[in-house]
Amino acid sequence: MEITVGEAGKGKLSQEIRIGSHVLLGDEPIANGGNDTGPSPYDFLLAALGTCTSMTVRMYADFKKIPLDSIHVTLNYEKIHAKDCVDCENPSAKIDHIDRKIELRGNLTDEQRAKLLEIANKCPVHRTLTSKIEIETSLIQ
């Protein structure tokens, strides 16, 4: 499926996003020079990870007949100083940090909860974000 993004004309940073039959708005908060007419690019990134996590865990629980009543995923993004990162090469650099908290509701054993957490880390978006990504960019004439 092709996704198209272009200026929405609702402010200098407002973007119209077309995904199939869906039309969304993206923007930056007022503090970052936008008009806050929609989520920021990082909001969409976190939404993709949260959505994929929840769907993946739900599908696995249903397939394995695990009594999961509901799942809620809360995400936050920030840049942290590399000095806070044990494995970082440049201690003055910053790294991207996503904090994902998963709430599982239902009559679950500790073993089931641990397995569902393991499955959450296998969602396709999580795997994409933690792997090497190649992006090919070209101009359209």
pLDDT of residue 85: 60
Residues 56-92: b if buried by 16+ CB within 10 A, e if exposed: bbbebbeeeebebeebebebeeeeeebeeeeeeeeee
Q: How far apart are CA 124 and CA 111, in angstroms?
A: 23
Average pLDDT over residues 104-108: 98
- Regarding whether 112 and 61 lie in a shared domain, the answer is yes
Q: Is 118 helix (H, G, I), strand (E, B) or coil?
A: helix
* 137 in a structural domain: no
Lowest mean pLDDT among 3-7, 21-25, 27-31, 81-85: 81-85
Q: What is the CATH number of the domain that holds 121?
A: 3.30.300.20
Residue 84: is its pLDDT beyond 80?
no
- Regarding whether 7 and 73 lie in a shared domain, the answer is no
pTM value is 0.88
pLDDT of residue 118: 98
Which residues constitute the domain of residue 26?
1-39
Residue 86: is its pLDDT beyond 70?
no
pLDDT of residue 89: 65
Check: CB of residue 13 under 8 Å from CB of residue 34.
yes
List, in sequence order, every residue forming a beta bridge with 79; answer none if it has no partner. 96
* 102 in a structural domain: yes
Residue 98: is its pLDDT beyond 90?
yes
Residue 99: is its pLDDT beyond 80?
yes
Residue 64: is its pLDDT beyond 90?
yes
